[in-house]
Structure 1
Amino acid sequence: MSDKRILVVDDEEIVRYSLKNILAAQGFEVDDVPSAEEALKLLYVRSYHLVLTDLVLEGMGGLDLLENVKVISPRTLVIVITGYGSLKTAVKALRLGVYDYLLKPCDEEELIIRVRRALEMQAYGREQKRLQELNAIAKTAVTLSDRINTPLNIILGNIEMLRLNPELEGSGKVQDSLQVMETQIFAIKRVMEKLAGLTNAQTKRYPVLRDYEIIDLTSEGASE
């Protein structure tokens, strides 16, 4: 069963029943309501990938519903269903941000094609946004790695100088402390190398951070 949720809004029960059955048969999770007011109540408590609504409804109309959906759930796409007489209104709805429209009576095959196309475009848009966010994180990681490694290398150099200092060579506690400092610094450097490795400037491929990778990063120093 698909994880995509669709809300059908139409004041004609037979139309709602038909649309719901067609979409449910495709594996979608479908809710149906007879009015825009009922639709808004659901939108406040549930998230939907797509709203399929008639433009002409009793009470609040389809265009008003569209405006509210854009405020309550900006990522939810809207497809409107209209009769031939309200085609001009459908064009207006498209200008207001409706993803697509269908003419009544809906052809079953065309309905499925339009719905799948909308959901595929929505998923593509979300994936692109995810990649952009990962790209930004990776670039920040590379910058941090460069800025942090320089002072760490300076500290390592000073640790080595202290270790070779004749006055400190006989002090076991000092040497042990220097060893601990050096170990922790190398642990930090390995963490920064992992963060920098999240991006590959040549292939432009950005891997997904999985739980085990995050654990590795945060526990690097603890295992030393």
Structure 2
Amino acid sequence: MKRAEEEIGRGTAVIVEQLTKRFNGGAPVLDGLDLAIAPGEFVALLGHSGSGKSTLLRTLAGLDPVTEGSVKRPRDVSVVFQEHRLLPWKRVWKNVVLGQEDKDIRQRAETVLDEVGLSHRKTAWPLTLSGGEAQRAALARALVREPAFLMLDEPFAALDALTRLKMQQLVADLWEKHRCAVLLVTHDVDEALLLADRAVVLERGRIRVDVSIPLPRPRRHADPPFEALRTLLLDALGVHAS
């Protein structure tokens, strides 16, 4: 654990060392994985289905136990899943502060709902929300906890193309404001390049590519450096760039 302690001393937000995960004695889903995420760093995690992305996220979120290797992470973490997981019998603002208890709870809900552009729907029932609105509420619920580490598990996958673009911009704006460490699990190379400081490609539970994205924001698909990184990541995923 000496290396992990040295990284924590330098302020690393997340440290994964030699993490191995198996299910029912089968082949490892994660195979001796090492990963470090700095405070305030936005990392995109790419890979085909079965590469280990969701298993890594669930482990970092504390939903799956660590049985081989080690994981160090901040105490304050939040997760936004592909499904919004709002409770239909609670109004939006009460969903946002679910599990929170303090005298200013309503004010905190209203503040974060305003941040995500949903203040006008604070008293609505979840079943009346559009897909994009529901994900905004889920994002508000994650941010109200003021996490040091935010995990996003393909949160825009079920949205239409226009709503997805709007949500990507919202996440970019919120990250600029809050500057927590972020791990975004996605299948979308362009999404990774638009949002992240770094892209990591998993293959069979190991990191195949770990590349910095040193592009100024806001980013444009037409810029040659963007296209070069896009080609690199698509090649790592075994996809012919077009």
Higher strand fraction (1 or 2) = 2
TM-score, normalised on structure 1? Answer: 0.31
RCO comparison, higher one (Cα < 8 Å, 6+): 2
TM-score, normalised on structure 2? Answer: 0.30
